[in-house]
């Protein structure tokens, strides 16, 4: 067992039983205190912990860390290290905040802050971003809507983890409003496109993994090696302008229908923290090619929820799904991404693709939940939604749990503003 995952450990920091952040979590992020510059941090309960101060006070003295690794505006320097060091740091944090440890009172003042007193920042500087399309149910649903049930999955889908290269610069932190995008659309029964604000604004419920430093250009990462290069995960909302996307995606795939914004949660939960929640994925038929074969349980049981709110009603649950429904797992995604020799860098982000289960309440987008607008969803104030309206707020939450503790990701919360004139 990884030391920090010991379910019997309790912290001297107060943690509520339903917290996403018990001492067994120890996520990594970046915060800024009042009048201070950003630094790398972790969180236990509702207490944010300054890792730069911990390093300065010699709590990591026997771990091979350079003096400025946590004195950074993002996690990228830490991500350039390796899994052994990532694990050692997390284990040491667990030891220091174990209830058996007696911390000097003056150190508490330097290290700790209430989560409401800090400003969360983007956790990583995303150099490259890839979005996969790895939920079989989602791919099948979309295929049924736009083709037919007998031809729902394209011929390549069961053989490769399909993906595309997205726009890293427009990935933003939870709490950042996004304006409705504008672009070309082709209306039904017309042959000439129009230009204007997107009419079919949608979210996509996804998770994303963040990488450490990969191999050199020309070298590949195997499924067996993949977890040495995956640091952790966050919640990912892949905003989608369905009408813009539909007109533009042939022949080269998504462009303006996607690159106007994606939203992430602020804390990166380590792969180590998620290891107790591994489960088997569905049987892959036909059998994948040899470079995509893997051993062990590689899916993760992460419970997902999407809520929608507006000025006239409080957050209302519209979807409950689970990351364990993914057909292609992270190990396969990273192996496929690099099999041609593509190099990855510390801070690269790989999103899962929309996560949908096999029942309507587990669908991960408005496109599916309203079945392309043919089944409007009733809201608490009596209005209906086919897609996202201006001034709607979408909230995504994610957590794992067993009979011993809960590991959560917090939330990603984003309001859609009207298109700019």
CB 134 within 8 A of CB 328: yes
Q: Tens digit of pLDDT for each residue in 229-273? A: 999 999 999 999 999 999 999 999 999 999 999 999 999 999 999
For residue 107, the model assigns a pLDDT of 98
**Considering the entire predicted model, what is its pTM?**
0.98
CB 286 within 8 A of CB 159: yes
For residue 66, the model assigns a pLDDT of 97
For residue 56, the model assigns a pLDDT of 98
For residue 34, the model assigns a pLDDT of 82
- CA–CA separation, 187 and 172 (whole Å): 30
* Domain residue extents for the chain: 3-120, 129-417
From the list 37, 15, 39, the residue with the least C-alpha distance to 26 is 15
Asked if omega into 407 is within 30° of 0 (cis), the reply is no
Fold of 129-417: Fumarylacetoacetate hydrolase; domain 2 (3.90.850)
Low-confidence ranges of the chain (pLDDT < 50): none
Enzyme catalytic residues: 138
Q: Tens digit of pLDDT for each residue in 83-131? A: 999 999 999 999 999 999 999 999 999 999 999 999 999 999 999 999 9
For residue 228, the model assigns a pLDDT of 98
DSSP-assigned beta bridge partners for residue 407: 400
- CA–CA separation, 209 and 228 (whole Å): 13
Give the 3-state secondary structure of residue 387.
coil
For residue 45, the model assigns a pLDDT of 98
Asked whether this chain's domains 3-120 and 129-417 adopt the same fold, the reply is no
CB 387 within 8 A of CB 202: yes
For residue 35, the model assigns a pLDDT of 79
For residue 36, the model assigns a pLDDT of 86
> Which token pair is 392?
């709607």
Check residue 228 and report its DSSP letter.
Answer: G
Torsion of CA 323, 324, 328, 334, to 10 degrees: 60
CATH architecture of 3-120: Roll (2.30)
- CA–CA separation, 236 and 352 (whole Å): 9
Check residue 80 and report its DSSP letter.
Answer: T
């Amino acid at each position: 067992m990884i030391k920090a995952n010991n379910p019997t450990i309790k912290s001297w920091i107060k943690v509520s039983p339903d917290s996403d952040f018990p001492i067994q979590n120890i996520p990594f992020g970046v915060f800024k205190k009042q009048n201070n510059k950003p630094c790398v941090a972790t969180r236990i309960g509702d207490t944010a912990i300054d890792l730069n101060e911990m390093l300065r006070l010699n709590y990591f003295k026997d771990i091979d860390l350079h003096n400025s690794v946590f004195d950074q505006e993002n996690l990228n320097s830490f991500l350039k290290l390796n899994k052994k060091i990532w694990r050692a740091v997390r284990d040491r944090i667990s030891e220091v905040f174990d209830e058996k440890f007696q911390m000097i009172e003056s150190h508490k003042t330097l290290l700790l802050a209430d989560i409401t007193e800090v400003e969360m920042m983007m956790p990583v500087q995303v150099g490259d971003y890839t979005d996969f399309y790895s939920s079989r149910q989602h791919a099948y649903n979309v295929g049924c809507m736009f083709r037919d049930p007998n031809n729902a999955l394209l011929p390549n889908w069961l053989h490769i983890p399909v993906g595309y290269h997205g726009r890293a610069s427009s990935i933003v932190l939870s709490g950042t409003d996004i304006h409705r995008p504008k672009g070309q659309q082709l209306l039904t029964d017309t042959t000439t496109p129009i230009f204007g604000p997107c009419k079919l604004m949608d979210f996509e419920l996804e998770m994303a993994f963040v990488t450490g430093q990969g191999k050199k250009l020309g070298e590949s990462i195997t499924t067996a090696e993949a977890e040495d290069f995956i640091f952790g995960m966050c919640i990912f909302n892949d905003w989608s302008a369905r009408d813009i996307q539909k007109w533009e995606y042939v022949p080269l795939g998504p462009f303006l229908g996607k690159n106007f914004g994606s939203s992430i949660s602020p804390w990166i939960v380590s792969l180590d923290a998620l290891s107790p929640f591994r489960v088997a994925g569905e049987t892959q038929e036909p059998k994948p090619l040899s470079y995509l074969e893997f051993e062990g349980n590689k899916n993760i049981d992460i419970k997902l929820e999407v809520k929608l709110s507006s000025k006239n009603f409080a957050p209302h649950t519209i979807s409950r799904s689970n990351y364990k429904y993914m057909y292609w797992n992270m190990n396969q995604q990273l192996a496929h991404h690099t099999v041609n020799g593509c190099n990855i860098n510390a801070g690269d982000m790989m999103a899962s693709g929309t996560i949908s289960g096999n029942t309507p309440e587990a669908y991960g987008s408005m496109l599916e939940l309203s079945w392309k607008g043919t089944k409007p969803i009733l809201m608490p104030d009596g209005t209906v939604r086919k897609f996202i309206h201006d001034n709607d707020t979408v909230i995504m939450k994610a957590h794992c749990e067993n009979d011993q503790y809960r590991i959560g990701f917090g939330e990603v919360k984003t309001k859609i503003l009207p298109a700019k004139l």
